[in-house]
């Protein structure tokens, strides 16, 4: 007789390492006596009509190195629990009741929810309705509170760093200023870490508004001294206290992007013909593909700790990586406030002291 039936779902944006979490939960949990059910397309799989399937050892064999999620995911739908930077949307009670009833119908004793701030906010609301929840933090932006690192982040930084390594030679060969736009709506960790690792000359972050005039003077100096420059721009970077918002999309969240194009356009207006500039927007290549070793290991550790938390009878908690150890913390500790770059952050201080334009 099974010890219990555990549901697993992935919600929000995809990232490298999701499959490693799923596989680890199942591989450790089955010998412990648990059965597993995977809900497809995030919370939508829990709502009517239910979309789920059994997860056995054969279903998760060989998936840990594969990007994306075998359970599919979505950041839209009836269960959205987030609006903007740390904002929370209250999910209607009838939707929460439907989710609870459907989980009971499938015989779920506990639900492992893998996702970011919005997903975990939704999970916390469902937990208040009496559903046993274990959260697993997931975001390439590394902006969740209560944990030192999230899986997917290291791989995203590696992708951006590889791109920087490749464009340096083009910038120097043509005496150009090359802009590289990264993900990072409200937290600039990817841009900061990759920019520092990849030798960027300027790093523009959401946390620190900058003036285009100041950037122009910096680039003029760079052109006179070195002949080329690399500028890394997080998509949420603030130009004179404003973000570049692009139209379109049905999500409840504000869509950002195109800030590097806006910066180049403004520079050209202020100094016509003075700079030869080109821009590259990496976009979703930062999310997809094979997770690097660091993310595989971290994701596996999260999965193992998640099923251990289920077995301990915990609920309303998120597994976390703190001080090089796995633990659990209340989900509420991770939600409602983003972990952002500060001016005393080690990478920020290092970049500033190296002469990088970072305001």
Q: Helix 293-311 to helix 153-174 angle, to the nearest 10 degrees?
A: 160
| Beta pairing partners, 251 | none
Strands of 277-281's sheet, edge to edge? 202-204, 229-234, 177-182, 277-281
Structure tokens at 177: 């200023």
Check 94, 109, 117, 141 and give the catalytic one. 141
| Beta pairing partners, 113 | 9, 135
User: Is 333 an annotated catalytic residue?
Assistant: no
| Beta pairing partners, 82 | 88
First and final C-alpha spacing in the chain: 60
Cα 213 from chain centre = 31
Residue with tokens 């990586």: 321
Residue 143 half-sphere exposure toward CB, CA atoms < 13 A: 25
Residue 56 half-sphere exposure toward CB, CA atoms < 13 A: 2
What does the CA dihedral 238, 244, 248, 254 come to, rounded to 10 degrees? 20
In degrees, to the nearest 5, what angle opens at C-alpha 314 toward C-alphas 308 and 317?
95
Own/partner long-range contacts of 172-177 (Cβ < 8 Å, ≥24 apart): 172/227, 172/228, 174/228, 174/276, 175/223, 175/227, 175/228, 175/276, 176/228, 176/276, 176/277, 176/278, 177/219, 177/222, 177/223, 177/228, 177/229, 177/230, 177/231, 177/275, 177/276, 177/277, 177/278
Q: Which residues are catalytic?
A: 141
């Amino acid at each position: 007789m099974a010890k219990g039936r555990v549901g697993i779902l992935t919600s929000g944006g995809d990232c490298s390492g999701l499959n490693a979490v799923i596989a680890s939960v199942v591989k450790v949990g089955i010998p412990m006596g648990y059965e597993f059910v995977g809900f497809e397309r995030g919370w939508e799989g829990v709502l009517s009509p239910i979309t789920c399937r059994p997860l056995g050892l054969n279903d998760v064999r060989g998936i840990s190195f594969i990007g994306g999620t075998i359970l599919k995911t979505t950041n839209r739908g009836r269960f959205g629990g987030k609006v903007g930077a740390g904002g929370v949307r209250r999910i209607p009670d009838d939707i929460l009741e439907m989710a609870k009833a459907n989980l009971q119908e499938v015989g779920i004793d506990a639900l492992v929810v893998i996702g970011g701030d919005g997903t975990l906010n939704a999970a916390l609301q469902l937990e208040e309705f009496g559903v046993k929840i274990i959260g697993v933090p997931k975001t390439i932006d590394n902006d969740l509170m209560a944990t030192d690192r999230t899986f997917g982040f290291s791989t995203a930084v590696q992708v951006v760093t590889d791109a920087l390594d490749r464009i340096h030679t083009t910038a120097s060969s043509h005496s150009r200023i090359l802009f590289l736009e990264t993900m990072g709506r409200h937290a600039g960790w990817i841009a900061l870490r990759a920019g520092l690792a990849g030798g960027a000359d300027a790093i523009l972050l959401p946390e620190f508004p900058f003036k285009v005039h100041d950037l122009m003077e910096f680039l003029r100096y760079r052109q006179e001294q070195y002949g080329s420059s690399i500028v890394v721009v997080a998509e949420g970077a603030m130009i004179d206290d404003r973000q570049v918002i692009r139209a379109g999309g049905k999500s409840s969240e504000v869509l950002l992007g195109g800030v590097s194009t806006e910066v180049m356009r403004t520079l050209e207006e202020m100094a016509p013909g003075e700079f030869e500039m080109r821009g590259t927007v990496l976009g979703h290549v930062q999310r997809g593909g094979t997770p690097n070793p660091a993310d595989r290991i971290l994701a596996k550790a999260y999965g193992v700790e998640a099923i251990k938390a289920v077995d301990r009878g915990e609920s309303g908690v998120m597994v976390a990586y703190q001080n090089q150890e796995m633990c659990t913390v209340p989900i509420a500790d991770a939600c409602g406030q983003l972990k952002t770059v500060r001016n005393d952050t080690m990478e920020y201080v290092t970049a500033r002291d190296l002469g990088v334009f970072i305001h």
